[in-house]
Amino acid sequence: MDTTLQDPLVGQVLDGRYRVDARIAVGGMATVYRAVDTRLDRVLALKVMHPTLAVDSSFVERFIREAKSVARLAHPNVVQVFDQGNDGSYVYLAMEYVAGCTLRDVLRERGALQPRAALDILEPVLAALGAAHRAGFVHRDMKPENVLIGDDGRVKVADFGLVRAVDTVTNTTGTVLGTVSYLAPEQIEHGTADPRVDVYACGVVLYEMLTGARPHEGDSPASVLYKHLHEDVPPPSAVVPGLAYELDELVATATARTPAVRPYDAVELLSQVRQTRGALSADQLDVVPPQAVASAHDNAEDRTSVIPRALTVPRPLPVNEDEEPEAQFNRTSRLETAPPLPSRRRLSRSRQRLAAIIAAVLVVFGVGAGVWYINSGQFTKVPPLLAKTETQAKDRLEAAGLEVGTVKQAYSDTVKRGTVIGTDPAPGERIRDHDSVTLTISKGPETVKVPDLEGYRLDKARAVLKDSGLEPGLVTREFSDDVPRGFVIGTDPETGTTRHAGSAIALTVSKGSPVDVPDVTGEDLADAKADLTDAGLKVKIAADRVNSEYDAGQVAAQTPDADSQAAEGDTVTLTVSKGPEMVEVPDVVGASVDDAKELLEASGFKAEEDRGLLGLFGDTVKKQSVKAGDMAPKGSTVTITIR
């Protein structure tokens, strides 16, 4: 059954502009609809807060914070916010509509993905989060449900409903807000959130894309939280044989339980992802995972939840005094016993043994070793240096037997100031021993001052922002007695504030002086139009006419209502009357007064008594003003004479 038919908003027009066509999804905080902006004639997504939450100022504040935060990002991989407002009890965001599916839909349908596809999805996700992190925000709820994949292949990050400023205290109440399967240990244990919690969640998402299953499963949310705290995410190759060791390392780095070991934000992780991709062969990128890896799981663990941190505190187990300390630690640090997996240290030792064996073989075959050294030993490869500090890069080059050449500097929106954004030759390229490598060091993002736009028309203000290296963001309209309609009142952030080039600037635009909407109900249509036009308003006539107490051709209703305020040039919709509904008058002669009144009112009439001198003490209806069986307007008055 189509449940959207039962949704009271479907078919309605919010704020006189957004026509709600269908419900897309329902969450704990809001419902998302497909809608049409009737002014610009474009399809968009309308995120409407549940009315029961709209009375809570903290929820409304979080909702509006999402609009302002996302509007400031203006990134091609972030779902754009166009507008924010309210209509009665409905608080809404008007957002970009992405036709397609979520990453969760893809994983349910296909299970594990090839590494190439997984990295193709992860890179734009990290680019979006990197823009948020460098703008000072943390998403806090990254998961496959919030990754949208358009029909055209575009990848976008959605639902910044839990976004917080990096330097904001996120929790003091003993609860954790997020999705169980993607929470970082520090979120669970301390309730803190900086960009590294998004890095951790992306590492979990990468593991899930590579294997088709989440790394930590359990019978309850508490058991999953416990594993996040006490167990490393296993290497994906333990589930999907044939996956490259570099992918294991990438997942391990992103999901390190100690935050300091992880990349400090999504930009650094994106740099590592690109290095990993560059190190993999085509065969390694196209490993086909077994279809059996696709998993069905409890959707409850995919929902954003408020989780008491008490659930994550492990109960102490009995201590055996004869047991070795290491065994005690292993026993108490796990909720469930997992099968042993090869550690990175063992894998590293295996590679060292392999190198030693190869060297021994070369020594045995002396001549071959000499030829190998002459042909290849004079060359090396440029080590990976991206996102390293200048000092670290120089140390790595020296360790590789290479010289540091020219050191250049360039602006970068994605790479931290003072770190490497490029080398010549590029990382991995073959170079002769002791040759020099040119380094390009990031100067950080280019910064721009917000220009003074007060008094500019909106289109001119947008052009000035673009010429200044900034982007026009969310537009909010307000009444103003001083600034003409359509001109800028102010900006957020304010004039003179320094922002990264490409940042979005919110604009407040004047709706002009407020106009009192006159009451035109009951007027002839022509007179009503004239009154509204004289008040500086436009008129729209509703397509359907209705029965009302007013004569046919008169105004039965208006939107907005009389005595409300509108901006000059706003539209008032008039509904025209087709006259009152005609109803047959019942026969009440001979009935008692009470019975007569009850019958007339049940038929839609008003009853009025006429007793005169002779009917002061009577109780029987002797006459009625409208004959029984005649038709009269519903709501009109019938006078009954009592004797």
Q: 561-614 pLDDT, tens per residue?
A: 888 888 888 899 999 999 888 899 999 999 999 999 999 999 999 999 988 776
CA angle 208, 240, 215 (to 5 degrees): 35
Q: Which residues in the chain come in under a pLDDT of 50? A: 1-4, 165-176, 292-298, 300, 306, 308-377
Superfamily in which the 100-317 domain is placed by CATH:
Transferase(Phosphotransferase) domain 1 (1.10.510.10)
Give the burial string for 32-44 (b: 16+ CB within 10 Å, else e).
bbbbbbeeeeeeb
Point out the catalytic residue in the list 83, 141, 194, 198: 141
What local confidence, expressed as pLDDT, does residue 360 receive? 41
The rounded distance, in Å, linking the Cα atoms of 17 and 540 is 13
Q: CB 219: neighbour CB atoms within 10 A?
A: 10
pLDDT of residue 306: 47
Closest CA to 209 of 125, 271, 275: 125
Name the percent of the chain in helix, strand, coil, to the closest 5.
Answer: 35, 25, 40
Contact 335, 249 (CB under 8 A): no
pLDDT the model gives residue 565: 87
* Host H or E run for residue 14: strand 13-14
The closest of 142, 43, 49, 143 to 98, measured between CA atoms, is: 43
Domain covering 365-442 assigned CATH 3.40.190.10 in the classification = no
- pLDDT tens sequence across 14-68: 988 999 999 988 876 788 999 999 988 899 999 998 888 777 777 777 777 767 7
Contact 484, 457 (CB under 8 A): no
Classify domain 514-576 by CATH number. Answer: 3.30.10.20
Domain with CATH 3.30.10.20 in the chain: 365-442, 447-510, 514-576, 583-642
62 near 161, Cβ under 8 Å? yes
* CATH for 447-510, options being 3.40.50.1360, 3.30.10.20, 3.20.20.140, 3.30.2010.10: 3.30.10.20
C-beta neighbour count of 632 within 10 angstroms: 19
What pLDDT is stored for residue 22 in this prediction? Answer: 92
- CATH 3.30.200.20 residue spans of the chain: 3-95
pLDDT (0 to 100) of residue 190:
81
Superfamily of domain 3-95: Phosphorylase Kinase; domain 1 (3.30.200.20)
Establish whether 435 is a catalytic residue: no
The pLDDT tens digits for 66-104 are 677 777 777 889 998 888 888 888 889 899 999 888 999
Q: What are phi and psi of 48, to 5 degrees?
A: -115, 120
* Domain 583-642 CATH assignment equals 3.30.10.20: yes
Span(s) in the chain for CATH 1.10.510.10: 100-317
Whether pTM exceeds 0.85? no
